[in-house]
């Protein structure tokens, strides 16, 4: 196959006609496939069905989990998250079923009350947040919903572009935070290098109430090779003299049942005690019965890792199929680059500038729904209009194959159309 840039006009005409025929052939199949969101498949969810059985109601201290109390979570659940995110138990608060809620609440507290007793509420000030992109759309929605302006910075293969981050933070005191998914990042799948973690922890910030939103959502979610490790952000911040800089989040959403898991927040002793003051006003205690159910399923890190190896066995072949089809369809024509994730939930595809929206539209017209163009960027605007997030976890292998063929065909058509 020839790179599209090398094609003569006559070759292009002929190829476009052939591709349009293939497109029309797909149209007769009346497809209805959805690769819009990174949801666990039914088989993955089935692995945790024992969550619905519980033999007793007491935790390790003998407390009855059916009753009120235990604001910051069961001790054994804190111990489990302490192993997952490698943070001492005293720095952890267990939340409800969603880490995104904990993130929203952490920023809402900052807006209403400030990040500590001696800082001012963000509300009423001009406040900006750094959004490494492509990134997780719901993060950007959280900060934007709270009135914080999103500033886009680039993602590299080892984390956010730290030259950009440091330059912006050094001179702009209205930038008060940054979103980070440090392991198997959403959607590029990269894991932050030690150097990036060290620079984030030690960089100068014009704002003295700057916070890193460290969403370790994919801490245990590998499907290829060994589980990646990421340098401990809380310890690195403390060593750099910025002990209160990072808020860490995690959850079991994509280990047990999505949306019915257990979430956790971890930070410095100061930040944890400040957060507890407000969490204690919000609630008499979290859902401890759900924590107990999770502990029956995952009594320790070893059992959780054993469980996640079963997820890996289901997810690995799906990502391998995505990779195989991208290679078969696009490698030789030089119109795209894509990530090769070893964990997380996404493959990130970059096409030529200006062709993502059209590719997604062409796919949709054939019944293949993809994440909206621009979704992984603040305000839904991809400045290059070239990025597509591929989410293969939910569909069956055959459907992934069909959806990927349609996506690649649409990408070829969009690229050729743009060349005229």
Ligand X SMILES: Cc1ncc(COP(=O)(O)O)c(C=O)c1O
Which of 70/344 has CB closer to ligand X? 344
Stretch that binds ligand X, among 12-20, 28-36, 59-67, 98-106 (CB under 6 A): 98-106
> Three-state DSSP class for 130?
strand
Judged by CB under 6 A, which of 82, 87, 150, 186 binds ligand X?
186
Stretch that binds ligand X, among 93-101, 150-158, 201-209, 360-368 (CB under 6 A): 93-101
CA distance 345 to 41: 11
Q: Which is nearer to ligand X, 136 or 247 (CB)?
A: 136
Number of residues that bind ligand X (CB under 6 A): 14
Name residue 178's beta-bridge partners: 130, 212
Shortest Cβ distance from residue 272 to ligand X (Å)?
19
E strands present in 185-328: 211-215, 246-251, 263-266
Minimal distance, residue 135 CB to ligand X, in Å = 8
- Closer residue to ligand X in complex, CB, 99/352: 99
Q: Identify which of residues 207 and 219 has a Cβ nearer to ligand X in the complex.
A: 219
Nearer to ligand X, 180 or 407 (CB): 180
* Structural element, H or E, at residue 180: strand 175-180
Minimal distance in Å, beta carbon 82 to ligand X? Answer: 18
Closest contact distance (angstroms) between CB of 12 and ligand X is 39
Quick one: which of 59, 72, 105, 215 contacts ligand X (CB under 6 A)?
215
The 26-65 contact track toward ligand X, x by CB under 6 A, reads ------------x---------------------------
Least distance from C-beta 19 to ligand X, angstroms? Answer: 34
| Adjacent-strand bridge partners of 58 | 64
Looking at 218-338, which runs of residues are DSSP E strands? 246-251, 263-266, 336-338
Contact between 98 and ligand X (CB under 6 A)?
yes
Q: Could you tell me which stretch among 11-19, 48-56, 156-164, 258-266 binds ligand X (CB under 6 A)?
A: 258-266
Tell me how far, at minimum, the Cβ of 11 lies from ligand X, in Å.
42
Among 99, 191, 242, 363, binds ligand X (CB under 6 A): 99
Binding ligand X (rule: CB under 6 A), the pick from 85, 106, 111, 181 is 181
415 binds ligand X, rule: CB under 6 A: no
For 224, list phi and psi in degrees, rounded to 5.
Answer: -145, 135
Report how far apart the first and last C-alpha atoms of the chain are (Å, whole number): 20
Return the closest-CA partner of residue 265 out of 56, 107, 30, 112: 107
- Local structure of 347: helix, strand or coil: strand
- Binding of residue 136 to ligand X (CB under 6 A): yes
Contact stretch for ligand X (CB under 6 A) within 255-263, 282-290, 366-374, 396-404: 255-263
Beta bridge partners of 266: 92, 248
User: Smallest Cα–Cα separation from 341: which of 312, 321, 310, 319?
Assistant: 319
- Does 255 interact with ligand X (rule: CB under 6 A)? no
Q: Which residue has the tokens 């007491």?
A: 58
The only residue of 91, 133, 242, 263 in contact with ligand X, by rule CB under 6 A: 263
**Stretch of 6-14, 109-117, 238-246, 257-265 lying at the interface with ligand X (CB under 6 A):** 257-265
Task: Decide: is 143 part of the binding site for ligand X (CB under 6 A).
Answer: no
Nearest to 123 by CA among 112, 136, 138, 109: 112
Least distance from C-beta 251 to ligand X, angstroms?
3
CB of 172 to ligand X, least distance (A): 25
Shortest Å, Cβ 95 to ligand X: 9
Closest CA to 56 of 229, 230, 283, 293: 293
Closest approach of ligand X to the CB of residue 286, in Å:
13
Neighbours of 244 (CB within 10 A): 20
Quote the tokens at residue 79.
Answer: 């111990």
- Angstrom distances, CA of residue 349 to CA of 92, 266, 381: 36, 33, 16
Burial group, residue 106, by CB count within 10 angstroms (0-12, 13-18, 19+): buried
Give CA separation, 225 vs 100, 110, 322, in Å. Answer: 28, 39, 17
∠ CA 233-234-239, nearest 5°, is 95
Site of interaction with ligand X (CB under 6 A): 38, 98-100, 136, 181, 186, 215, 217, 251, 253, 259, 261, 263
């Amino acid at each position: 196959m020839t790179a599209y840039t090398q094609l003569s006009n006559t070759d292009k005409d002929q190829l476009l006609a052939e591709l349009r025929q293939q497109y029309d052939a797909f149209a007769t199949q009346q497809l209805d496939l959805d690769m819009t969101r990174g949801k666990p498949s039914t088989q993955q969810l089935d692995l945790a069905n024992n969550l619905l059985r519980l033999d007793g109601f007491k935790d390790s201290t003998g407390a009855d989990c059916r009753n009120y109390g235990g604001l910051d979570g069961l001790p054994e659940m804190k111990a489990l998250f302490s192993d997952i995110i490698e943070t001492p138990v005293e720095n952890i608060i267990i939340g409800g079923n969603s880490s995104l809620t904990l993130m929203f609440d952490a920023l809402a507290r900052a807006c209403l009350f400030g990040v500590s007793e001696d800082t001012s509420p963000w509300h009423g000030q001009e406040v900006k947040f750094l959004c490494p992109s492509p990134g997780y759309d719901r993060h950007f929605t959280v900060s934007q919903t709270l009135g914080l302006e999103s500033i886009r910075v680039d993602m590299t293969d080892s984390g956010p572009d730290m030259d950009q981050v440091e330059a912006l933070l050094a001179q702009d005191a209205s930038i008060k935070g940054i979103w980070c998914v440090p392991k198997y990042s959403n959607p590029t799948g990269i894991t932050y290098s030690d150097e990036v973690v060290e620079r984030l922890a030690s960089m100068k910030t014009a704002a003295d109430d700057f916070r890193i939103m460290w969403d370790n959502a994919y801490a245990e979610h590998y499907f290829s090779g060994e589980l990646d490790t990421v340098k401990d952000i809380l310890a690195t911040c403390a060593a750099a003299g910025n002990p209160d800089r990072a808020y860490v989040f995690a959850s079991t959403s994509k280990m047990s049942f999505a949306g019915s898991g257990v979430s956790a927040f971890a930070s410095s002793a100061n930040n944890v005690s400040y957060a507890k003051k407000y969490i204690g006003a919000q609630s008499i205690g979290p859902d401890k019965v759900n924590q107990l159910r999770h502990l029956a399923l995952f009594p320790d890190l070893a059992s959780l890792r054993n469980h996640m190896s079963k997820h890996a066995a289901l997810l690995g072949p799906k990502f391998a199929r995505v990779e195989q089809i991208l290679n078969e369809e696009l490698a030789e024509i030089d119109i795209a680059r894509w990530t090769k994730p070893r964990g997380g939930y996404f493959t990130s595809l970059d096409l030529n500038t200006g062709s993502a929206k059209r590719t997604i539209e062409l796919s949709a017209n054939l019944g293949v729904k993809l994440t909206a163009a621009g979704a992984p960027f603040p305000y839904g605007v991809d400045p290059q209009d070239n990025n597509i997030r591929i989410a293969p976890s939910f569909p069956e292998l055959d459907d992934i194959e069909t959806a990927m063929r349609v996506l690649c065909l649409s990408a070829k058509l969009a690229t050729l159309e743009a060349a005229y």
